[in-house]
A and B are shown apart, each in its own frame.
Chain A
Amino acid sequence: MKKHKVMTISLFVIFLILTALNFQSYAASITLRVLSTTIVEKPEGNVERQIAEEFMQKNPDIKIEFIGVPMNNVYAKITTLATGGDMPDIFTNVPQFVAQAADLGIVEDLDELLGPDFIKGFYPNAIREASLNGKLQFIPWFSTPLALLYRGDWFKAEGLAAPQTWDDFVAVAKKLTKDVNNDGKVDRWGFAMLGARNDSAMSRYNCILKTFGAYELRRDTSGNWVTDVDSPKGINALRFFTDLYLKDHVVPPGPTEVSYAEALELMALEKTGMMITGPHSIGGILARNPKLAGKIYSVPVPKKEKHVSFLGVYGFSISKTSKHKDAAVKYLKYLISKENLLEWNRVTGRMPCRIDAGKEPQISGPVYAGFVKAMDYAEAVPNVAFYPEIIDIEGEAVQAVLTGQATPEQAAKKAGEKIRAAIRRAQ
């Protein structure tokens, strides 16, 4: 009898253990590893984490595990993970990296996974930027169209209108540059120039280049890649840009040291009045200096020949090697649901890529007016694998002129030769 009792209790304990184990494995049977750059930013990371938490509550069988990587290191990190055979299920992707990621063979074709009806819900230009050879490479999450951010309160105080052309821009930049504390030294400047040799700075310069009618890389009528950086228009753009510092003196000292973070700091510390950037910068500036709420406006990037903007689409790809593609799609669809996109925009200023969210009044309000308008002028980033090299060559040319090592003609000529060599090497 006693033996029977012991056996029953043992069986019951085993049953309990097995049930618990089974429950535990059910509770988080899938772990999705998500490589994200926004997760390490503030306030972006908080919202993204919050959305993931809500998703996990609604889907207890899926666990989201973030791998945070700063945007500047993300290409190297993804390449390292890919070569090490340790790709996460979901990873950050942007138009500048699309060709590389495809070359590495790490991207799952999303057309089938998402279906045509769902894809129709995105803005067509966002889908164009996220595709390569007609295949969707990443799910567009948000866009950060480039526009000119400016201090509306300073403009009002000086009786200035938002600049439409580069001549207007120089005039207002000179007005904004002044000695505010009357100590005989200039302590406020018109323009936060990004002169660092990196992708973030040069994408802004390329926007200016294009407003002059020159392209860092474009296809000619025969379909071959060519560059205009050393054309008269390209040289004019380079001269105009560098003269802002060298001749017009509307830029703070040390522009070659200024990357995105430093430029944001200049705006937040009220040292500069204008900056070419995306809507996300509003969140960044306000996070550093909340007193500026309601004082920052936007307008499309001024023109020489035409207005130009980049959409700055950002999204997530699903890894070819992921074992949980359906769960990944489920999470990403939740991430880009209308409610989450609006909350994301409210906190970070980043614009939704879904049409239903984009139509909401929250997006078309006065703060974002310039960005919304700028989307009409958006041009695509060339999606070629050697594009990062082009960016680096342009950075070298800009810095050579800014530091007085070359004239715009010399720097542009050298950059043109190097870009053509890069094109030849890639063929």
Chain B
Amino acid sequence: MGERLRTANRRELGGYLFIFPAFLVMLMLVIYPLIYGGYISLFNTNLMARWNLVGLKYYLRILTDSVFWSKIRITISFTFWTVLGHFILGMVLALMLNVKIPGRAVFRAILLTPWLFPEVVVALVWKWLYNPMYGLINHFLVQLHVIAAPISWLGSPSAALPAVIIAAIWKGYPLIMVMLLAGLQAIPQELYEAAQIDGASPIQAFRYITLPGLRYVLVVSLILDTVWWFKHFTIIWVLTQGGPVDATNVISIDIYKTAFEYFRFGEAASMAVIVFFICFLFGYGYRRMLGDEGN
């Protein structure tokens, strides 16, 4: 009995030893920054010479500030349309690439290209495309007589957010396309053959075979994509810096400005902690809505 217990303990210890390196990495790269961020949020600090404890003052101020919530609304709007765009475009392209057509590998490579470009490059390319003086978009629209004169897409409060969302959709759809394509290829062909024999239409097959078959891939992709784009900074910053006025001022830009332009690190950290909980809620909500069935 005692010998068996000792063996079990040894095995357990071995297990702990095996996970220790991974735990250490997690501790350094994930847990420590999270805790440190929370710690900073309790101080009025420049992270160097000034550390004045303010407690929960910043949280109270932020949570009761209508400007903060208006920026959260812009962020949610940006995230919703971007993720929706990714899923519609990603799904359509994944379904097309799942069909055996000549040159499929070439199409896959081409459609993956936006994902390979750094975000800054993507933003600069779109900035040039949108330019009111030399941009290709204005040039073609004027040539086609769709618009009479060039439009400052990124300088218009009503057009700036859609313009930024289009750039973000272009950058992000390949990831969803690849994930959905992998999910599609895991669905057994027999199910489609059985459906065909039963007289199901392609739409019915999509509704009753494809979508349920993609359920887990959809949940994971949706959580990853939503959280990723909710925190997004680079493309918006390069394209508009949050402007004009506050038209594209998502919360990540506000956090950056508060920290690195106004040097109010404590306040920026409090905003970041709140955003962390919002992202956490997104993940939890998706899992509840779409069901994780023990996974």
Contact = CB atoms under 8 A, between A and B. Distances in A.
A105 B49 contact: yes
A254 B132 contact: yes
Nearest to A386: B262
Interface stretch (A76-84, A207-215, A299-307): A76-84
Nearest to B157: A403
A283 interface: no
A402 B244 contact: yes
B246 A396 contact: yes
B242 interface: yes
Nearest to B263: A100
B150 interface: yes
B155 A79 contact: no
Interface bracket on B? 20 to 34
A403 B244 contact: yes
B133 A389 contact: no
A79 B156 CA distance: 33
Contacts of A399: 243-245
A271 B133 CA distance: 10
Q: What is the size category of the interface that chain A forms with chain B?
A: 35 or more
A195 B154 CA distance: 12
Given A198-B241, A392-B261, A257 B46 contact: no
B272 to A, nearest CB: 15
A141 B17 CA distance: 57
A388 B49 contact: no
Contacts of A386: 262
Contacts of B77: none
B47 A253 contact: no
B46 A400 contact: no
Interface string B240-261: 0111111000000000010011
Contact of A385 (B151, B246, B263): B263
A395 B244 CA distance: 9
B7 to A, nearest CB: 47
A396 B263 contact: no
A81 B246 CA distance: 30
A83 B47 contact: yes
Interface string A377-393: 00000000110110010
B130 to A, nearest CB: 8
Contact of B157 (A82, A106, A405): A405
A254 B48 contact: no
A198 B47 CA distance: 24
Interface string A400-427: 1011010000000000000000000000
Contacts of B156: 403
A79 B48 CA distance: 9
Closest 4 CB pairs of A and B: A254-B152, A76-B260, A254-B132, A256-B155
A79 B133 CA distance: 36
Interface in B190-234: none
Given A105-B48, A271-B133, A254 B155 contact: yes
A354 interface: no
Given A198-B241, A403-B245, A257 B257 contact: no
A176 interface: no
12 contacts: A79-B46, A103-B49, A103-B263, A196-B243, A254-B133, A254-B154, A255-B155, A256-B155, A388-B263, A399-B244, A403-B156, A405-B157
Among B50, B150, B154, B243, chain A packs the most CB atoms within 10 A around the CB of B243
Nearest to A396: B245
A161 interface: no
Nearest to B241: A197
B245 A400 contact: yes
A403 B263 contact: no
B62 to A, nearest CB: 14
Given A105-B48, A256-B152, A197 B132 contact: no
B35 interface: no
Contacts of A106: 48
A406 B38 CA distance: 38
A388 B132 contact: no
B287 to A, nearest CB: 35
A402 to B, nearest CB: 7
B158 to A, nearest CB: 9
A79 B47 contact: yes
A55 interface: no
Given A253-B132, A255-B155, A82 B241 contact: no
Contact of A253 (B48, B50, B133, B260): B133
Nearest to A104: B48
A257 B132 contact: yes
Contacts of B157: 403, 405
Interface string B128-142: 000111000000000
Contact of A257 (B49, B154, B242, B261): B154
Interface string A268-312: 000100000000000000000000000000000000000000000
Nearest to B257: A392
B149 interface: yes
A197 B242 contact: yes
A75 interface: yes
Contact of A83 (B48, B150, B151, B261): B48
B214 to A, nearest CB: 40
B243 A253 contact: no
Given A196-B241, A388-B261, A400-B245, A257 B155 contact: yes
B240 to A, nearest CB: 8
Given A103-B49, A103-B50, A389-B261, A253 B149 contact: yes
Contacts of B150: 253
Interface string A86-109: 000000000000001001111000
A275 to B, nearest CB: 15
A405 B149 contact: no
B143 to A, nearest CB: 13
Given A75-B260, A399-B245, A104 B152 contact: no
A386 B258 CA distance: 11
A100 B259 CA distance: 12
A254 B263 CA distance: 30
A370 interface: no
Max chain A Cβ within 10 angstroms of own Cβ: one of B48, B156, B246: B48
Interface in B7-57: 46-50
A394 B47 CA distance: 27
B46 A103 contact: yes
Nearest to A259: B241
